Amino acid sequence: MKISSGVTLVNLACSGDPDMIAKPGWMVNLVGDSNTGKSFLARTILADNYYRYKDAMFYVYDDLEYGVHWNDGKMFGTSFAEMALQPAFEYEDKTIEAWYQTFNKCVTKSEEEKRPFLYVLDSWDAINADSDIDYMKAIAEGKDKKSMGMAKAKLGSKLLSDVVSKLEATGSVLFVISQTRDNIDPMSFETRTRSGGKALRFYSSLEVWLAAKGKLKLDAGTDPYGIQVSFKQKRSRLLGHESVVEFPITYMYGIDDTQASVDYLVGEGVIKKEGHSLVSTDLDIKVATRKFVAEIEAKGKKPQLNELVVKTWRAKEESIVDRVLQGRALRYG
């Protein structure tokens, strides 16, 4: 069972496989500023795998930030909106202890029903630890406390070890969304970091960062209709290098996998620009730039487009290897 992101380039950047962002048993950390598409990508991942596997899995979106308000039926289809997601969990308090109990309920359900689950926690920043809550109350009341509010990080390190073990045992996948913040560590070269200590990075099999590259507009005088997202794979247990790709999110369509693939191939010179048109001999299409994506889908050529993306991606990787090794044989090859 492969877990897909629904975006060919994202899958390639994370695993080298055009159909997989994560393997069963993985924890994945999605990191980024506000309004960079983290929640939308996570929701897309749930929907894409729902249509692949239906009842072979169950699907959980734990929206602790109460930030998801878009129309699921319009974006992801009526079937997903009405049937796919488990009911939202209710926490008396937003603590890591309460979340851990919720996670274990999913593990029990998985074991009883003998099917894995796909779980999104949105977000790690929305939960705290009991002792940290006590610390914040003491500060508010003007009382002196020795604790520095680090219980969540310490407890998270202990709990995530067990979480990853249970994910592996059930063949399930957990996506944890994290918000970025300014890095005040003078010994670090990175200007942005995320909360939660080092446990998330240590136990995550995949860590990705999202950033908004810019607003999408038809022309300078119109309102934005979406954003262009820069997606960076910073750590993957399947790949030995980082990768950066881009994809658009439009307000009326969602994440546009086809447009992302076309933009990538144009950037690599595989699809050519001729005046106000785009030309692809591989796809046998020549049409106005803004109509190119619609023409691909209307002619049913999305599979051929995906094959072209994969071919181009792998040829580029092979070229990099050749340039680095300069004809040297692999040491143990």
The pLDDT of residue 83 is 80
> Per mean pLDDT, which range of 89-93, 161-165, 225-229, 244-248 is the poorest?
89-93
The confidence band for 198, taking pLDDT boundaries of 50, 70 and 90, is confident
d(CA 235, CA 246): 17
Q: How confident is the model at residue 310 (pLDDT cuts 50, 70, 90)?
A: very high
Query: Does residue 165 register a pLDDT over 60?
Result: yes
Low-confidence winner among 9-18, 134-143, 219-228, 238-247 (lowest mean pLDDT): 134-143
Q: Are 227 and 37 in contact (CB under 8 A)?
A: yes
Per DSSP, the chain holds a count of helices (H) and strands (E) of: 11, 12
Q: 200-224: b or e for each residue (b if 16 or more CB lie within 10 Å)?
A: beebbbbbbbbbbeeebeeeeeeee
Residue that wins the pLDDT comparison between 306 and 182 = 306
**What six digits make up the tokens of 214?**
């810019």
| Cβ contacts of 76 within 8 Å, gap of 6 or more | 43, 44, 47, 254
Q: How confident is the model at residue 192 (pLDDT cuts 50, 70, 90)?
A: low
Cβ–Cβ under 8 Å, residues 195 and 181: yes
**Predicted confidence (pLDDT) per residue in 6-27, tens digit:** 999 999 999 999 999 999 999 9
pLDDT recorded at residue 77: 92
Res 146 pLDDT > 60: no
What is the DSSP annotation of 120-131? EEE-GGG-B-HH
Give domain limits for the chain: 8-255, 258-333
- Report the pLDDT value the prediction gives residue 208, as an integer from 0 to 100: 97
- At 157 the pLDDT is 78
Q: Rounded to an integer, what distance in angstroms lies between the CA atom of residue 119 and that of residue 104?
A: 12
- Mean pLDDT value of segment 89-108: 85
Q: Compute the average pLDDT of residues 283-312.
A: 98
Q: What is the mean pLDDT of residues 153-170?
A: 89
Between CA 170 and CA 57 the distance in angstroms is 11
Cα separation, 176 vs 79, whole angstroms: 25
Average pLDDT over residues 96-122: 94
Distant-in-sequence, close-in-space partners of 88: CB < 8 Å, separation ≥ 6: 61, 62, 63
Q: Which two structure tokens, joined as six digits, stand for 266?
A: 């144009």
**What 3-state class would DSSP assign to 59?**
strand
Provide the pLDDT confidence category of residue 197 given band limits of 50, 70 and 90: low
Give the pLDDT confidence score for residue 144 in this predicted structure: 52
Distance from C-alpha of 182 to C-alpha of 193, rounded to nearest angstrom: 6
Q: Convert the pLDDT of each residue in 43-75 to its tens digit.
A: 999 999 999 999 999 999 998 877 667 788 889
Percent of the chain with pLDDT over 70: 85
User: 8-255 in CATH: which number?
Assistant: 3.40.50.300
Q: What is the pLDDT of residues 30-50, one digit of tens each?
A: 999 989 999 999 999 999 999
pLDDT of residue 195: 60
pLDDT category of residue 136 using cuts at 50, 70 and 90? very low
**Averaged over 129-145, what is the pLDDT?**
50
User: What pLDDT is attached to residue 333?
Assistant: 74
Q: How many CB atoms lie within 10 A of CB 164?
A: 18
pLDDT value of position 155: 77
What is the amino acid identity at position 68?
Answer: V
Q: What is the pLDDT of residue 141?
A: 52
